[in-house]
Structures are given as structure tokens and as C-alpha cells.
Structure 1
Amino acid sequence: MIRFGLLFSLSASLGAQSLAVRADLLHTSVGPAIRDGIVLIQDGRIMAVGRAADVKLPEGTVVHRAKVAVPGLVDGRSTVGLSGLLNQPHDQDQLEGSAPIQPELRAIDAYNGRDLLVGYLRSLGITTVHTGHGPGALISGQTFVIKTHATEVTQGVVKTQAMVAATLGDGARSREAGKAPGTRAKQIAMLRAELVAAQEYARKLKEAEKGKEPARDLRKETLVQVLRKELPLLATAHRAQDILSLLRLAQEFNLDIVLDGGAEASLVLAELKAAKVSVILHPTMSRTFGELENASLETAARLQAAGIPFSFQSGFEGYVPKTRVVLWEGAMAAANGLAFDQALQALTITPAKLLGIADRVGSLEKGKDGDVALFDGDPFEFTTHCVGTIINGVMVSRGEETRGPVR
């Protein structure tokens, strides 16, 4: 493991390679699969995609072969890099418990790209993660987007600020008797009060004479970004009643929202579609108890049938190994109503669009980042292995992290 870490650091420091991936079956996520397809990558960018017979490779191009190749996978919602492998207080930074509302907390300030869980996801073809503060507080903080090859946070940031993470329902109730929020009504009242205060702060900033602006307030500044639709509100909600409360709050303040979780989303499909809300679906293999008692393996297929954009996520587990793998989440959905292409899109181009980064990742197209995942068979089959992960035109993993126990 240490040997691989040194090798990876060396390859990353050398800069992007000129290479090609040739696959028996190449999935681009934006069109039909290409048999005997090839992706040419130079200086970290995709230069050509097509049939091997139609793409001329420059002399000296290194060619990697695979049975199947797909765009680098995008994890729609995670806490990896903040929630670490060891499950001990020193590597658990995904939730700050000192106050129920803390939108000013930045995920980029806590991310640890050297955590073994990041490498584990990378070895399974996940090249981009939307990660940060997790569910469990009314507003827990911000999220951001980063490539999984980055050991130092500044090396791979795709978006410094992505969304502001909130939670409605049982997950945001205070665990201390008599401490707010203790009920659903109190949760919405507290959120409304914070948004109103942010509106007033924005008004004072606009009307103040130069040099007489109100003192900086990091909490209000972040919520002003939400009010201005510069940052979406990423709200974890599972019960239908909480989802509907979220929709009403969004309408009241004209917010851009993304539903995270949505175990009972199938009960409010019409309302979600009318509000044009995208869903980052609860991990398909979540344990179905408590608020997730009505979660279903078929929810993804129902969202697809209703025309509601959705993506998969690894989410957050309260026990080791602290993360799931979106590849397997997609596989479970593909076995329960989704077509292969639909499941793959929910792991690639759909989350890229949802996160506003589809100009760089999510599909194999000329001009995009050279991120490719290589497999020795159908990616959704349990016996298949990820045999290579390429990020920005560099082979950063050959699956080493999955060939033994993660420790």
C-alpha cells in the first residue's frame, strides 16, 4: 500500500500522459456504446473518441486495453475525505455538533485526500466526488467537488463551493432534551428565521454607504448565496411530509434545492416534477429502518419513469467503512427496473449536470477531462474488477486497493 502511494505521487507529479484506452465495448454516456472503441487523451484532455479503426493515434501513444471502458464515475453525494476509515473522533469531520445551523463551515477546510477510503473509491473507478458536511444537523455546512487523485486538496478541486447541506426530519432533531430543534415545525421555523435574517443582511449591504457596511457575518453571507441561487440548498429528507415542507420553503424563498435521500420520493413524484427538483437518491442498499423504512430498490426506476433527474450516491454510514460505492448502487438499481444505460448515466453525466460540471466530466467527449474507468467485464456484475482508473490522462490506479483488506 505504501509502495503504491509513492508510485502514485510520482506519476501525478510527472503531469498528464499521452495515452489511449481501447475497449471491446466503450460506453460514452452520451450515445450508443461503441464496439472496439478508443479514447485518445493528450495533455489530460480527451482528443478523440470513436471506433478504433477510425481514430489515428500519434506515434508513441501508450494504449491500455480493457473489456469495457466508461467515463470516470461521479459520486453524487458523499462525506468521504471528511469521514475517515478509522471511525475515530480524530478522522470524523463531517458533522460539527456545537450548533444546529452552521452554513459557514467549508468542506474544503477539512478534506483529507490521503485517507484510505478516498483511494478505495478511486480504485473502483470513481474519479470525482461531491463531498462535504453530512446529514445530521439542520444546516451542517458546505459541500465541494474534487477529483479522487488529489492528495492535497488544492490539486484536484473542481468546485470550491457546491451546495449548502441541510437536514429535515428525525435526522436533524436535537439529541438533548429541551434543545432546539425538537420538532419538525421548529426545524422549518428556524430555517425560515435564518433566511429572513440573511435577506435583511443582504438589504443592509446593498443600501449601506461605502465604509458603513454591516460587520461581516459568515453565516449570513453563505445564506445570501443560497438566496441568490449561487448555491443550491442540498436538503436531506426522507419522509414525504418533510419533502413537501422542503418544497414549500423553497417556493417561499425562491430557492434552488436538491433533494438528498428521498426514501419516500415515490409518494410525491408529481410534486417533485412540478417543482423541477433533482434527486440524489439514498444509497440503494441503505438499511431500511426508521425514516428509511419505505426505501425501495425500485425508487430509481420510478424516478426515471417520472422524468425526474436523479443520481446515485455513496452517502454516509455511521460505521466502518463509512462509505458505500456508487458503482454497486447503480448495479442494484439496474437489477431493479433501470436499463444499463440509465444506471450508467446516473453515475456519470447526470450527477455532472446536477453539479454544474458537465463541461469537464461525466461523459467521454472531445475536450473533456481525460477521466476513464476500465473493467474486465460488465461493470455492474459482482465478479467484474476495475482494472484501471485514469484521471486527467494519468493512470492513477490499477485496482490495487481492492485486492486485499482495507486497513
Structure 2
Amino acid sequence: MRFRSSLLRRLTLLLALLVGGLLPGLVQAQHAVRADTLYTMTGDGPIVDGVVLIEGSTISEVGPASEVDVPSGATVHEATVVTPGLIDPRSTVGVSGLENVPANQDQLDTSAPIQPALRAIDAYNPREDLVKFVRQLGITTVHTGHAPGALVSGQTATFSTTGGTVAEALHDSLTTVAFTLGPDAQQRFESPGTRSKGVAMLRQKLLDARAAMDDEGPTTDLGQAMLQKVLRGEVPALITAHRAHDIQAALRLQEEFGFEMILDGASEAYLVVDEIKEAGVPVILHPTMTRPSGTTQNAAFTTAATLHEAGVPVAIQSGWEPYVPKTRIVLYEAAIAVANGLPRRAGLASITSTPAQILGLDDVGTLAPGQTADLALFDGDPFEYTTHTCTVLDDGRVVSDECK
């Protein structure tokens, strides 16, 4: 189901353009968004006094107000700053819930240390209050699923934060398979008891999966079938590793088996920047304000800036919190990274265009004709603490209009 929704949206836009050409004047923008400063995140600089026109669920035109004609009858929204809808690139939102109750804590199954068959799509609740909470703060897309804490905790998926059913919210049913290296994968299980045992267990499973790929016919082992998708490069391995030597172990596994890899967490990435860059691996960095304890005890506010300066693609995540409201907000985490050396545009990119590129989402993360109309409207600088998210559009619909 990868890119299913993207294809449908593009077909919708094509149909609208065809109808518009045949019946001029009948197809008009339903919404026009006007901003004092418009960040398109397309590679160009911000547009002063910019306008975004929306037809249905799709952006039809973007540019300065002096060059864009707003059709009569369009609903006009005005804001100080407008950005693409924000993307949380690593979360458990919708799989974990707002409250500390077992019924909505499905982010980690601890019955076994290796469970690649577990699907995020089977646990995601689009009506969870935590989904609404992040949507009101401008987050229109979440990459969510099984949390770190097991050698292989399960699969991740990507959803819109709007939609009453899983099918309505779905962007991508299988985005990555989530791995964890280091002590965080050892605390809940009798085995592995050490780092080397954990890597050995993973290596054995990957070797078994690779050997079975030569057998005739598809495997009926769901976990092995998923690892084979990783080995064939069909699905990236999202490997959580915080300490420098765990990051190096992840890079060795990637080199040995040749799978596509996204490095997750990476608290001590600043110690092995050259190795990460040489491997060509993007990083979904820990929340900037993560608590410095355990494997994250050497986390630094400046790591995002260090990775960006080195040319490593970096996105900033919310992660998972064991207490209410069960998640951080990526806008605030990126703001702290900007305050500690990450350039402003790179800070916005870390929660819009860069995670879209890392996760293979081709219709969100930027404001351009043909893109899905996901927008966040602010009454000031998004990185200022006193600024509010006042309007959120998802798929061209206003899904929040109360300043938060």
C-alpha cells in the first residue's frame, strides 16, 4: 500500500486540471492561505506575502500575492507564518495513547526479543486523543509504530493525523522494520544479556532469512518474510542505537548485509559523524530535550547542528515517553536545536521536507503544486515559545482552527 494515497491524490489533481481546462471557471480553489512569511521548503527561500491556493485536497498554486490571483468564493485564511504540515518522523502516537492505561499502550510487546511480523497498522488508533493533541499543534503526518526496546520490536507505518478509520488516515502501511541495539534491547528479556549476544542473535536471524530466500516458493514464516524484505532492500531497517559503539555495530551490520538503513536515536552520533556520513545513512535524531540518562546520558543539544554541518540528513523526532501525555512535540524539539546552532531553515526541514525524503513520502513535507494540502498556520515565529498554531489544514480540510 506504499504511496497508495499519493497516487490517488495525484489522480484527483489531474482530473481537476482536466475538468478545469474543459469547463473554465467551474473549478476554483476552495481555500487560499495567505502568509506574511511562507516557508515552502522546496529549496527556495521564504516568500514574503505569500499565497497558497488549494483545490480539493491538493495545492494548485504557490507564490507571492502579487503574482497569484485568489479566485472569488475561495475561503481565505491569513497567518503570520505558514509552513507545510509538520511531520513527526519517529513516534508511537496512535499505537500508544494519551493516558497511562494498558488498553492503549501497544508500542512494545515483551513476549520475545525478535518480532518483525508485528504490524503497526494492526494497532494504530486514528481516534486516539493523542493523535488529536499533536494535530492541533500542526503535526499532520506521523511515522509511528513499534518502539525501541527489543532487538526487533516490529514494523512502523505512516499516517495522516486526520481520518476516522485506519484506511482514511493511511499513508504507508509498511515504512520500516524497527531494530534496537545496546542495553535498551536487553532490559526486558532473559536473552540477549550482552551487546555481543544481541548482535549475534540478529546476525543469525538475518543469515537464516537470506538462506531461505533461495528456497522455492514464498515462506510462510511471517517474521522471516519481513526480514527478507529488509535484505532485498524493499523496506529500510530503522536501527535505534545511542552509544557510539552501538552505532558502529549497526553500521557493520548494514555493511555486511547491504540493507537500507535509517539510524534512529543516535545520542552519541557526534562522536562518529565521519562513519555515519561515509555510510550514507540518514539520522532520525532523538528529541533534543531527551532526558540524559542510561544510553542517552551523553546526549547534546548541538548534535543536530553537528550532523547538518557534516552533510548528514537529519530529522528530529518525538520518540516515546513513559508518562502522560506520552509524547513530545517535534516543533519544540526542533526549536531547541535551532537555538543551539542548527540553521533555521534546516530546523524547519528537520520536521518537514527532510523526514519526507528519509521516509519516502513524496506528497507531503513541502508546499508546491501537486502536493497534498497539509499546512500549519502560526501567529508568529514557529520557534518562539509564545507563538501559537492557529489553523491546521490536512488534505485541504481545516482540521483545527483554535490557537494552541
Task: Please state whether the residue corresponding to 1:54 is helix, strand or coil.
Answer: coil
Equivalent positions of 1:6-85 (< 5 A) are 18-30=30-42, 31-85=44-98
Which one of the candidate residues 341, 345, 370 is aligned to 1:337? 341
Quote the Cα distance in structure 2 between the aligned partners of 1:344 and 1:39.
18
Match of 2:378 among 357, 369, 375: 375
1:200 aligns with 2:204: no
| SS of aligned partner of 1:131 | strand
Q: Does 1:384 align with 2:392?
A: no
Q: Report what 2:278 is aligned to.
A: 274
> Which amino acid counterpart does residue 356 of structure 1 have in structure 2?
G
Q: Deviations over 1:337-357 (max 9, x none)?
A: 012111001111000000101
**Equivalent residue letter for 1:369:** T
Deviations 1:184-243 (A, max 9, x none): 001000000110111122110xxx2xxxx3651100110000000111100110000000
Q: Which runs of 5+ in 1 are unaligned?
A: 1-15, 403-407
The equivalent residue for 2:318 is: 314
Q: CA deviation digits over 1:308-354, x for unaligned, max 9?
A: 00101110011111100000011001100012111001111000000
How far does the alpha carbon of each residue in 1:280-319 deviate from its partner, in whole angstroms, 9 at most, with x for none?
Answer: 0000010001111110000000001110001011100111
Contact 2:285 2:314 in 1 (8 A): yes
Aligned AA for 2:90?
R
1:318 partner SS: coil
- Give yes or no for contact 1:199–1:224 (8 Å, CA) kept in 2: yes
1:29 & 1:107 partners in 2: Cα distance?
29
| Counterpart amino acid of residue 348 in structure 2 | L
Distance 1:215 1:121 in 2: 39
Structure 2 residue aligned with 1:87: 100
Q: How far off is 1:58 after superposition?
A: 2.1
Letter in 1 for 2:394: I
CA contact (8 A) 2:219 2:225 kept: no
Amino acid of the structure 1 residue aligned with 2:221 = D
Alignment of 1:6-405 (within 5 A): 18-30=30-42, 31-176=44-189, 179-204=190-215, 208=216, 213=217, 216-357=220-361, 359-399=362-402, 402=404
Distance 2:401 2:192 in 1: 47
Secondary structure of residue in 2 paired with 1:323: coil
**Matched residues in 2 for 1:74 and 1:392: separation?**
14
RMSD (Å) for aligned C-alpha atoms: 1.2
Q: Distance in 2 between matches of 1:285 and 1:111?
A: 26
> How far apart are the structure 2 equivalents of 1:21 and 1:322?
32
SS in 1 for 2:175: coil
Unmatched runs of 5 consecutive residues or more in structure 2: 1-27
**1:346-388 CA deviation, whole Å, 9 max, x = no partner?**
111000000101x201110110000100000000000000000
Between the aligned partners of 1:294 and 1:260, the Cα distance in structure 2 is: 15
Verify the 8 A CA contact 1:279 1:311 in the aligned structure 2.
yes
Residue 151 of structure 1 and its aligned partner are, at CA, apart by 2.5
Distance 1:397 1:305, change over 3 A: same
Please give the alpha-carbon distance, in whole angstroms, between the structure 1 residues aligned to 2:144 and 2:309.
28
CA distance in 1 between partners of 2:310 and 2:156 (Å): 28
Q: Is the 8 A contact 1:17 1:44 kept in 2?
A: no
Cα distance in 1 for partners of 2:234, 2:386 equals 43
* SS of corresponding position for 1:350: helix
Give me the TM-score of the superposition, normalised by structure 1. 0.91
Relative to the length of structure 2, the TM-score reads 0.91
Cα distance in 1, alignment partners of residues 244 and 219 from structure 2: 40
CA distance in 1, matches of 2:167, 2:183: 35
